[in-house]
């Protein structure tokens, strides 16, 4: 009898346990289904009155566009874009601050040490082969390229893409290729880029009876603009010519914005403008002869430029070579010396890849290292010969002269106009773009997700100070005479910084991302811009930097755990409740104000 009476209790207990288990299974399933992706919040269809658009984003990279170029009163279109959108005062590139590593970081969200493109040129000890970006028959092979670029991530999920000249986009990176791929063309006019982007948006969508299977309208468009970098190398970042180029690029963007407005797409299509790095002025007075630092006969391979990665012929000589360079660096404040596996700064994220040379000489911004075959420093100083290029990058990625830009506007960025973000590194871009088009990102080093979290408005703070960028020396006989003294100083490996104070990579602290070098405004700030440069061809002066192709020119993302996801949901509900309460309180106060106002009017009328 007792056994029979206990059965209903047991059955009831089993049912309760089953309900509890089922509840947690359903809750966990919801957690997994959400994938911790806030992207679905933005994945809504929008209509411009003519056609329906799935979440669509245009990403434009302005190669070599230094962050403080925006402060030269040359970019009215971009300033309007900043005032309408959301942006940090600058975005840091990744180390080394050169084109191919950073464009692949922008596309994958991985540090160069993680995706493997560790320079514009480098030696791979496993393949026993050089990577050189202009040798496309070799450099575009899949074996070099790690990570999953944005177009591959999107295409694998049925989101169609178009890529216009993006560095590395012609590489064979796997199963999924962009629906539209435009190869690099350094001489393409800026107006053609605008027509190409708008033409892609004009294609019929998948819901149109005129949809073209082989010519789908893309939801993601990535476009590359090399002009500022090309002319920055050719003429220098403080030249009159670069002012004209900056103006021309701003005009191009203005025409793109007008084209979007004419199509009623301003509030429908996301636009994100970035750059890959900044630029520093170079000069013959800031050159160091490599042969004065090291016996080059002991070196098998040399990577990079203006920094140098060294592969000794005999690995047993590595420590001796390092000690010699370290001694010379102690007497030469223009360089830092690092062993990849010993003292490479952790913030560089430039150690965990066998393609990274074991020994590095990293000059301060504005300085360059040259072999005698490239440029005889002593002879150049004696004769007053000009060193080319006149602008370089590749230095400490946190130095103010290397700062890049990030500006965004569109339905995926529903922030107050002119919103200001804290500065961040370019590994964050990949997740942001994926979220904006509703794609699930591949594992990467970024942690930022949409919605972004502004910290205020740009109008709340003073603009960043313009970083110091030393002017080129003159080539007069008097300057040549003083330069000769500098030549002997260089050969004695005691080259001074020529009176210019530059941030030391070896002494940079964690706060270096927010600090900036002080200086007077650019000397040509009042000069009239040169005629705009509307072409993108690179010349021999800049080709080593890889800011064009064809010779022209580990953490994975930390996933939130179950508890973090659950508390996020609770906090979101709490925030919603507080917001409702605040709005209700505001409404009550508004009604009270109206009642008091009415009573006051009655008193005044009665009196």
Kindly report the number of other CB atoms within 10 A of residue 481's CB atom.
Answer: 12
In eight-state DSSP terms, residue 301 is E
Q: Which residues 6+ apart lie within 8 Å of 495 measured at CB?
A: 288, 332, 334, 486, 489
End residue of a domain, out of 341, 368, 388: 388
For residues 270 and 408, the answer to whether their CB atoms sit within 8 Å is yes
pLDDT digits (tens, 9 = 90+) for 305-357: 899 999 999 999 999 999 999 999 999 999 999 999 999 999 999 999 999 99
Q: Which residue has the tokens 């370089």?
A: 392
Q: Is the pLDDT of residue 562 over 50?
A: no
Indicate the pTM of the whole model: 0.75
> Which residue range forms the structural domain that includes residue 108?
46-279+398-457
Q: Is the pLDDT of residue 577 over 50?
A: no
Q: Is the pLDDT of residue 470 over 50?
A: yes
Give the whole-angstrom CA distance, residue 137 versus residue 500: 43
Q: Is the pLDDT of residue 467 over 90?
A: no
Q: Are residues 171 and 114 in the same domain?
A: yes
Give the 3-state secondary structure of residue 379: helix
Q: Are residues 274 and 347 in the same domain?
A: no
Q: Quote the percentage of the chain above a pLDDT of 90.
A: 65
Q: Is the pLDDT of residue 43 over 70?
A: no
Q: Where are the beta strands (DSSP E) in 95-155?
A: 121-124, 129-132
Which residue numbers are catalytic?
99
Q: Where are the beta strands (DSSP E) in 248-345?
A: 269-274, 280-281, 287-289, 299-303, 308-312, 335-339
Q: Are residues 245 and 113 in the same domain?
A: yes
Which residues are bridge partners to 363 per DSSP?
335
Structure tokens at 124: 């791979």
Q: Residue 134 phi/psi, 5° resolution?
A: -80, -15
Q: Is the pLDDT of residue 535 over 80?
A: no
For residues 226 and 65, the answer to whether their CB atoms sit within 8 Å is no
Average pLDDT, the chain: 81
Of residues 276, 221, 259, the one with CA closest to residue 436 = 221
Of residues 128, 95, 105, 94, the one with CA closest to residue 354 = 128
End residue of a domain, out of 367, 388, 409: 388
**In whole angstroms, what separates CA 169 from the centre of its chain?**
16
End residue of a domain, out of 424, 457, 490: 457
Q: Is the pLDDT of residue 587 over 60?
A: no
Q: Which residue has the tokens 């004696």?
A: 382
Q: Are residues 188 and 330 in the same domain?
A: no
Give the whole-angstrom CA distance, residue 466 versus residue 8: 79
Min mean pLDDT across 76-80, 435-439, 449-453, 521-525 is at 521-525
User: Residue 174 has what pLDDT?
Assistant: 80
For residues 529 and 249, the answer to whether their CB atoms sit within 8 Å is no
User: Among the residues of 142-189, which ranges form H helices?
Assistant: 150-155
Q: Is the pLDDT of residue 564 over 70?
A: no
Q: Is the pLDDT of residue 266 over 60?
A: yes
User: Residue 561 has what pLDDT?
Assistant: 39
User: Residue 187 has what pLDDT?
Assistant: 92
Q: Are residues 267 and 164 in the same domain?
A: yes
In a domain, 338, yes or no: yes
């Amino acid at each position: 009898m007792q056994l029979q009476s206990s059965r209903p209790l047991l059955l009831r207990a089993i049912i309760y346990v089953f309900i509890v288990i089922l509840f947690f299974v359903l809750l966990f399933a919801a957690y997994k289904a959400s994938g911790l992706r806030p992207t679905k919040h933005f994945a809504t269809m929008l209509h411009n009155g003519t056609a329906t658009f799935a979440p669509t984003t245009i990403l434009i990279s302005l190669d070599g566009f230094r962050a403080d170029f925006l402060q030269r009163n040359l970019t009215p279109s971009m300033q309007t874009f900043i005032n309408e959108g959301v942006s940090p005062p600058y975005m840091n590139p990744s180390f080394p601050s050169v084109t191919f590593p950073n464009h692949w970081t922008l596309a994958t969200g991985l540090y160069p040490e993680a995706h493997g493109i560790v320079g514009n040129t480098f030696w791979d000890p496993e393949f026993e082969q050089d990577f050189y970006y202009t040798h496309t028959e070799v450099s575009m092979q899949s074996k070099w390229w790690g990570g999953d670029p944005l177009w591959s991530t999107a295409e694998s999920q049925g989101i169609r893409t178009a890529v216009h000249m993006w560095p590395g986009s012609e590489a064979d990176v796997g199963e999924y290729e962009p629906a539209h791929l435009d190869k690099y063309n350094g001489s393409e006019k800026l107006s053609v880029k605008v027509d190409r982007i708008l033409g892609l948006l004009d294609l019929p969508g998948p819901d149109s009876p005129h949809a073209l299977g082989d010519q789908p309208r893309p939801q993601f468009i990535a476009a590359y603009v090399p002009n500022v970098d090309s002319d920055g190398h050719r003429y220098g970042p403080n030249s009159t010519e670069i002012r004209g180029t900056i103006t021309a690029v701003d005009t191009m963007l203005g025409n793109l914005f007008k084209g979007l407005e004419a199509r009623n797409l301003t509030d429908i299509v996301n636009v994100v403008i970035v750059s890959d790095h900044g630029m520093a002025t170079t000069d013959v007075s800031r050159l160091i002869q490599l042969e004065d630092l090291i016996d080059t006969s002991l070196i098998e391979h040399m990577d990079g430029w203006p920094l140098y990665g060294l592969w000794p012929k005999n690995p047993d000589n590595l420590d001796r070579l390092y000690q010699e360079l370290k001694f010379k660096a102690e007497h030469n404040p223009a360089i830092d010396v690092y062993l990849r596996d010993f003292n490479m700064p952790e913030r560089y994220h430039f150690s965990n890849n066998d393609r990274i040379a074991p020994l590095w000489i990293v000059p301060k911004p504005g300085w360059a290292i040259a072999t005698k075959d490239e440029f005889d420093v002593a002879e150049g100083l004696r004769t007053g010969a000009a060193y080319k290029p006149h602008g370089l990058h590749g230095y400490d990625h946190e130095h103010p002269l290397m700062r890049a830009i990030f500006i965004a506007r569109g339905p995926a960025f529903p922030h107050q106009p002119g919103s200001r973000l804290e500065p961040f590194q370019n590994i964050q871009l990949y997740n942001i773009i994926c979220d904006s088009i509703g794609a699930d990102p591949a594992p990467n080093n970024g942690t930022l997700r949409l919605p972004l979290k502004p910290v205020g408005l740009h109008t709340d703070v003073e603009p960043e100070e313009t970083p110091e960028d030393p002017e080129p020396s003159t080539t007069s006989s008097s300057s040549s005479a003083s330069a000769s003294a500098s030549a002997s100083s260089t050969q004695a490996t005691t080259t001074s910084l020529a009176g210019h104070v530059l941030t030391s990579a070896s002494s940079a602290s964690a706060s270096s991302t927010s600090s900036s070098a002080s200086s007077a405004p650019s000397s040509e700030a009042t000069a009239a811009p040169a005629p705009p440069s509307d072409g993108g061809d690179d010349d021999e002066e800049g080709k080593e930097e890889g800011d064009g192709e064809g010779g022209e020119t580990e953490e994975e993302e930390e996933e939130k755990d179950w508890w973090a996801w659950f508390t996020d949901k609770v906090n979101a509900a709490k925030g919603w409740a507080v917001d409702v309460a605040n709005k209700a309180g505001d409404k009550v106060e508004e009604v009270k104000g109206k009642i008091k106002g009415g009573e006051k009017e009655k008193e005044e009328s009665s009196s």
